[in-house]
Amino acid sequence: MLKYGGRLQHSAFAYAALIMHPQASNLSSSLRTMRLSTASKTQLQSSDERSIFAPKKVIILTKLTRMEFERRTHATLNEEQLKYMLARRGSDYSRLLERHEQHHLYLNIVEQELRNAGIETRVVQRFDYDKAAVEWADAVFSAGGDGTFLLAASRVTSSDKPIIGINTDPHGSEGYLCLLRKRSHEHFKDALKRLLDGDFRWTYRQRIRVRLRGDPGRIEHVELHDQQLNIRSSDAWHGMLSERRSGEQNDGSAEELKDTNGEVTLQELALNEVFMGESLSSRVSYYELQVDDGETMKQKSSGITVCTGSSPSVAILPMWKRQGTGSTSWFFNINKLNDQCVSDLLRIIGEELSVPMPYDDKQVVRHICNAFNNRLIFAPDLEKMAFSIRDPIYNLTFRPCVDRGFASKIRVRSRCFDAHLVIDGGAAYKFNDGAEAILEVHPEDALKTVIFR
C-alpha cells in the first residue's frame, strides 16, 4: 500500500470532509446551476433576430407508423390475416393499431390548426420528402419522434428555414428534439398561437459538416432507412423505393456528390453524431486520428463517434431520462460513470492514500457520479464537437492517448476494409482503407429551431 503524508494526505482528508459535508451537495448544486444558467443564456441569445414566425406554407413530414409498415410490407394480407401473422410473431395488433390511430389523430390536429391559421400545408412521408418539398415550404414541421425530426432536418441545409418537431407519441417516444416533448395533442393549439404571437426564442443547433477524400468512385451512399425497409423482401417496398428514386432522378431533386479535387462535401449535416468504424461491431476498427492540429495517432478501437452539443437543461434530468441528441446520447452514454465505478474508485483511493473514503455512502457516491456525468453535457450552440473513442485498444504498438474531448476540426483516415461513415444513423458512406474524413462545425450550417420563453 502506498502511503502519502503532508500536503497530499491533508488534501485527501479535506476532500473527503468536503464531499461528506451536508452542505457540499447544495454548494455543488449552486455552482452547477450557475454554470447551466450562463450556458442557457448564451444559447437563448444565439441570435439577435426578432421572434417572428409567420409562414405562408408549411410542409409536415409524418412518420411511418409501425402499423403502416406492416400493412405495406404484407400488402397481400387482409386485416385478419395480418392480425394472425403479428400474433404469431408476438406483436400486439391492438396496441399497434392504437398507437397508429393516436399518431394520425395528433397529425390531423396539427394539419387542421395550421390551416385554421391561414397556412397552406402539405403532409408527406419520407418517400416524398425531397429537396423540392423543402424548397416549397417556409417552415418544416415533423410529426413523429426524434427520428422523424432528424430525418426532417437532414433535408434542411439552410440556417434560415425553421424546423419544428411535434412528438405525436408522447407515451412511447421521448421527443427530446420536439417542441412540446411529452405534451398531448390538446396543447398544440395553444402552442401554435404562441408561435404566431412571437412568444418564443430562436435557437440554433450546430451541425457537423463532413468532407470525404479518396477515390470518388468508391464513395457510395447508402440510406439506412431504406435498408431497414428492405429487411423483409417485399415487391410493395421495392416498387415504392424504386418509384421514389426514379422520381428523384427525373426531377433533379436528388443531390449529387460534388467532387472537387478529389474531395467530396457530403450533402447531409450531422445534427446528432457521426460514427466511423467497421460495419460489424465484432471487428476491430483501424484508423489514423488527428484532433485539431495535433499529432496524427494510429488507433484500434470499436470505432469513433463525434457528436454535437445538447440543451444544458438536460443536465438536471435523471440519468435514465437523458436520451436524445448529441452530448446527451452517444457522448454521454459512452463516457458516463455509474455508482459502482465511483464506489470502487473511492475504495481504491482510500486504500492507496490510507485515508477513510465514503465508498459505501450511497448519497455521496451518487453525488460524485452525477457531478462527473453532468460535465459531459454541453450546449447545442457551442461551435465545438465532442469525440469519443469506443473501447480503445492500448498496447506496445498503439500507445494510450486522449480517448474523449472537444475539437474544432477532426481528421480520420480509414485503415478499415468494411467500414462506413454514418450520419445521424440514417445516411452511410463507405469508409474503407485510404478514405479520409474531415469533420468541422460552421455557424452557417446551424439548424434553426424554436424554444418557448
What confidence score (pLDDT) does residue 438 get?
Answer: 97
3-state secondary structure of 356: coil
Instruction: Show the domain range for 155.
Output: 57-198
411: in domain:
yes
Q: What is the CATH number of the domain that holds 403?
A: 2.60.200.30
What confidence score (pLDDT) does residue 288 get?
Answer: 95
Whether 126 and 24 map to the same domain: the answer is no
228: in domain:
no
What are φ and ψ of residue 283, in 5° steps? -95, 150
Q: What is the pLDDT of residues 105-148, one digit of tens each?
A: 999 999 999 999 999 999 999 889 999 999 999 999 999 998 89
Whether 117 and 178 map to the same domain: the answer is yes
Whether 140 and 73 map to the same domain: the answer is yes
User: Does the pLDDT of residue 239 top 80, yes or no?
Assistant: no
Number of domains in the chain: 3
Rounded to an integer, what distance in angstroms lies between the CA atom of residue 157 and that of residue 243? 25
Q: What is the CATH number of the domain that holds 143?
A: 3.40.50.10330
178: in domain:
yes
What confidence score (pLDDT) does residue 449 get?
Answer: 93
CB 208 within 8 A of CB 408: no
| Residue with grid cell 416533448, as numbered in its chain | 181
Contacts for 52-55: CB closer than 8 Å, 24+ residues apart: 52/198, 53/139, 53/162, 53/195, 53/196, 53/198, 53/200, 53/450, 54/196, 55/119, 55/137, 55/138, 55/139
Contacts of 152 (CB under 8 A, 6+ apart): 61, 129, 140, 141, 142, 163, 165
Q: What are 404's three cell numbers?
A: 474523449
Whether 84 and 28 map to the same domain: the answer is no
Whether 402 and 281 map to the same domain: the answer is yes
CB 209 within 8 A of CB 446: no
Whether 147 and 281 map to the same domain: the answer is no
225: in domain:
no
Mutual angle of helices 362-374 and 339-353, in 10-degree steps: 110
Whether 362 and 422 map to the same domain: the answer is no
Query: Mean pLDDT score of the chain, rounded to an integer?
Result: 80
Q: Is 261 left (phi over 0), alpha (psi -120 to 50) or beta?
A: left
What confidence score (pLDDT) does residue 315 get?
Answer: 40
Distances in whole angstroms, Cα of residue 428 to Cα of each of 352, 419, 434, 441: 48, 10, 17, 19
Whether 301 and 434 map to the same domain: the answer is yes
Q: What is the pLDDT of residues 245-275, one digit of tens each?
A: 445 444 443 345 555 567 889 989 999 899 9
Q: What is the pLDDT of residues 50-93, one digit of tens each?
A: 689 999 999 999 999 999 999 998 999 999 999 999 999 999 99
| Position with higher pLDDT, 379 vs 11 | 379
User: Does the pLDDT of residue 291 top 90, yes or no?
Assistant: yes
What confidence score (pLDDT) does residue 431 get?
Answer: 93
Q: Global pTM?
A: 0.76
User: Does the pLDDT of residue 153 top 80, yes or no?
Assistant: yes
User: Does the pLDDT of residue 318 top 70, yes or no?
Assistant: no
Least confident of 157-161, 222-226, 400-404: 222-226
Whether 284 and 145 map to the same domain: the answer is no
What confidence score (pLDDT) does residue 257 get?
Answer: 56
First to last CA, the chain: 56
290: in domain:
yes
138: in domain:
yes
**Which residues are 57's β-sheet partners?**
120
What confidence score (pLDDT) does residue 17 get?
Answer: 41
234: in domain:
no
